[in-house]
């Protein structure tokens, strides 16, 4: 289903409240909530609201385990552009999560270690009980995570080559496209599909065209987000601008 909100703020609050509900429900049962998280501009306000819920309404992250979708490869965790830095600044350093419960693909591994790491990442998600919820943004290529055009529906966590458009869209943060890594480690489409709930968020008119293709277009590897049409537990959460081309 598709839900359209008047703006990014109200949509983000709604998503944050759903995450808070999962965390609280699990906590009552003495279980851990397992969250699949995304980086980029899209989820920033969700994280801001989660921080507010922590600071003002006592929401605790002590029983939360997180798995991030992706990381550039190679990437040092303390680099400004790393998704480790992003998550620390935008969420983790403001809440009471145990750093041992935070999982982000490791961009520092040698080429001969990375495949084993990817397999272990999948196993760690499974061992944690699977993802209760996965947050997604969408790239203008139609990528979810960094599953670029050509990604298989059953793909797992792996090293991928970034699309040229994705690298162009990232160029500002890196001071030029030539500085954007050509590769990334990403959860696969299959990894994302195993989550018990999937929320894809998109804001602003820059996403309107790809949202139309993702939601209404033919299902195809050319636009990996179209695979989400096959899931019965996905919700597209949009602002009016991102939804503006939907029929």
Matching residue, tokens 């272990």: 120
Burial class (CB in 10 A: 0-12, 13-18, 19+), 191: buried
Q: Give SS3 for 132.
A: coil
Q: Minimum distance between the CB of residue 173 and ligand F6R, rounded to whole angstroms?
A: 9
Closer of 26 and 82 to ligand F6R (Cβ) = 82
CA-to-CA separations, 43 to 9, 15, 56, 74, 113, in angstroms, rounded: 11, 9, 20, 23, 30
Burial class (CB in 10 A: 0-12, 13-18, 19+), 207: buried
Residues that bind ligand F6R (CB under 6 A): 38-42, 69-70, 137-139, 143-146
- Give the CA angle between residues 104, 107, 110 to the nearest 5°: 135
Closer of 63 and 159 to ligand F6R (Cβ) = 159
Q: Minimum distance between the CB of residue 53 and ligand F6R, rounded to whole angstroms?
A: 21
The answer to whether 104 touches 7, Cβ cutoff 8 Å, is no
Closer of 26 and 132 to ligand F6R (Cβ) = 132
**Between helices 83-90 and 44-57, what is the axis angle to 10°?**
40
Cβ-closest residue to ligand F6R?
137
Closer of 61 and 83 to ligand F6R (Cβ) = 83
Closer of 26 and 134 to ligand F6R (Cβ) = 134
Q: Minimum distance between the CB of residue 206 and ligand F6R, rounded to whole angstroms?
A: 8
3-state secondary structure string across 126-164 = HHCCCCCEEEECCCCCCCECCECCCCCCCCCCEEEECCH
Per annotation, catalytic residue among 57, 71, 148, 197:
148
The whole-angstrom separation of Cα 21 and Cα 59 is 10
Q: Minimum distance between the CB of residue 71 and ligand F6R, rounded to whole angstroms?
A: 8
The whole-angstrom separation of Cα 191 and Cα 125 is 9
Q: Minimum distance between the CB of residue 207 and ligand F6R, rounded to whole angstroms?
A: 7
148 is catalytic: yes
Residues with active-site annotation: 148
């Amino acid at each position: 289903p598709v839900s359209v909100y008047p703006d990014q703020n109200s949509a983000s609050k709604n998503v944050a409240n759903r995450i808070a509900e999962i965390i609280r429900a699990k906590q009552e049962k003495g279980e851990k909530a397992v969250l699949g998280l995304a980086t980029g501009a899209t989820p920033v306000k969700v994280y801001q609201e989660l921080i507010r819920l922590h600071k003002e309404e006592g929401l605790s992250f002590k029983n939360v385990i997180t798995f991030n979708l992706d990381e550039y490869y190679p990437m040092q965790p303390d680099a400004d552009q790393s998704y480790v830095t992003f998550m620390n600044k935008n969420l983790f350093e403001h809440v009471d999560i145990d750093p041992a419960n935070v999982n982000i693909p490791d961009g520092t591994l040698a080429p001969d270690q990375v495949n084993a790491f990817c397999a272990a990442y999948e196993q760690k998600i499974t061992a944690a009980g699977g993802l209760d919820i996965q947050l997604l943004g969408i790239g203008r290529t139609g990528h979810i995570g960094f599953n670029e055009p050509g990604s298989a529906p059953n793909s797992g966590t792996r090293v991928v080559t970034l699309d040229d458009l994705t690298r162009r869209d990232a160029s500002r943060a890196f001071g030029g496209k030539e500085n954007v890594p050509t590769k990334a480690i990403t959860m696969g489409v299959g990894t994302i599909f195993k989550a018990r709930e999937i929320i894809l968020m998109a804001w602003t008119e820059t996403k309107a065209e790809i949202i139309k293709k993702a939601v209404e277009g033919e299902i195809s590897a050319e636009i990996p987000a179209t695979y989400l049409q096959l899931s019965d537990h996905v919700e597209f959460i949009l602002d009016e601008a991102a939804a503006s081309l939907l029929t």
